[in-house]
């Protein structure tokens, strides 16, 4: 996985529905964190869990309402080209 690929997928997903009115770099912290935490293991389940945890930590469960299954679906998109 690389930054450009992760940014494209996460921004397209827009899990908090912020990009309509927020800066284009709104999720850059989360994207960088996902890349850091998955540098040694990029299996679908692991990446999905990391996506879930990173967004939950950043936004809390009142704002980030996606479930783990949806995050695993995003992980499948990210790891498909690996």
Instruction: For the beta carbon of residue 81, count every other beta carbon within 10 angstroms.
Output: 8
Q: What is the C-alpha to C-alpha distance for residues 56 and 48, in angstroms, rounded to an integer? A: 12
Q: How many CB atoms lie within 10 A of CB 11?
A: 17
Report pLDDT for 45. Answer: 97
Query: What's the structural domain count of the chain?
Result: 1
- Whether residue 82 is predicted with pLDDT greater than 60 in this model: the reply is no
How many residues can be counted in the chain?
82
pLDDT in tens, 8-66: 999 999 999 999 999 999 999 999 999 999 999 989 999 999 999 999 999 999 999 99
What pLDDT is stored for residue 80 in this prediction? 87
CA distances from 42 to 22, 60, 65, 69 (A): 29, 24, 24, 16
Residue 70, pLDDT above cutoff 90: yes
CATH number of the structural domain spanning residue 72: 1.10.340.20
What domain range includes position 31? 3-79
The predicted pLDDT at position 46 comes to 97
């Amino acid at each position: 996985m690389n930054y450009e690929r992760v940014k494209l997928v996460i921004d397209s997903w827009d899990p908090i529905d912020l990009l309509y009115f927020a800066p284009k770099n709104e999720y850059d912290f989360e994207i960088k964190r996902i890349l850091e935490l998955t540098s040694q293991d990029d299996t679908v389940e692991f990446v999905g869990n990391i996506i879930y945890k990173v967004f939950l930590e950043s936004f809390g469960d009142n704002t980030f309402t996606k479930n783990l299954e949806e995050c695993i679906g995003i992980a499948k998109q990210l790891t498909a080209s690996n």
